[in-house]
Amino acid sequence: MKYVIDGGNLPVLKIQLEAGECVECEAGAMSWMDDEIEMQTQAGGLGKMFGRMFTNESAFMNTYVAKYGGEIAFSAKFPGSIMAVEITPEKSIVVQKGSFLASCGQITNEVFIQQKLGRGLFGGEGFLMRKFSGTGIVFLEVDGSAHEYDIPAGDCKIVDTGYVACMDATCTMEVKTISGVKNVVFGGEGLFNTVVHGPGKVVLQSMPIASTAMLLSGYMPTSN
């Protein structure tokens, strides 16, 4: 299996499959492909189906299998980046909901809960994410550009809500309320921050969809 990521800020992942190789993705994620590739749709069990629905992903998964050899392409849903992350038995990752694009190899994924229900829901991160483990490559969509940081054990990075794209499974995350009434009312940073603790790598995204949508809403005409 070979792949290339083209398109700059409007990226497309192009994967060249050899005979018998396959790639898995959400239902509806494929953009174009050669006719030597066949599609197989599956839910993967009731638990996994509902887990994907809770993390803003399709309830069904598609597996594309190459009969001979051919190319299949996946386009990002939002201007930004596509990144490839190698997964090994020693390296699993936890991914923000909606960031998964496709995977190749023996990859398993499951709902990952890091936070208590209340703060996770109101904080926007940490309640329901996805954990990918096994052996292979996971391709992720990143809103805007991707910025990687290695966080040592005992250290942490404070991040505004929505900017965490993914992190190593060795990292832990918590959502903290911003202290001080003036900071909350006049600081412009909302009520919560996300704190990622090491050890491990975290990938931050520069332009979360939710933040961009809020910014654009101020320019939208209002109905009378």
Q: Which pLDDT belongs to residue 198?
A: 95
The domain spans of the chain are 2-217
- What topology is assigned to 2-217 in CATH? Double-stranded beta-helix (3.60.160)
Model confidence, pTM: 0.81
Integer angstrom CA distances of residue 132 from 102, 169, 207: 11, 9, 23
pLDDT in tens, the chain (224 residues): 899 999 988 999 999 999 999 999 987 889 999 999 999 876 554 445 455 455 455 557 899 999 999 999 999 988 999 999 999 999 999 998 888 999 999 999 888 876 544 444 444 444 578 899 999 999 999 999 999 999 999 999 999 878 999 999 999 888 777 654 433 433 444 567 788 999 999 999 998 877 777 667 777 776 65
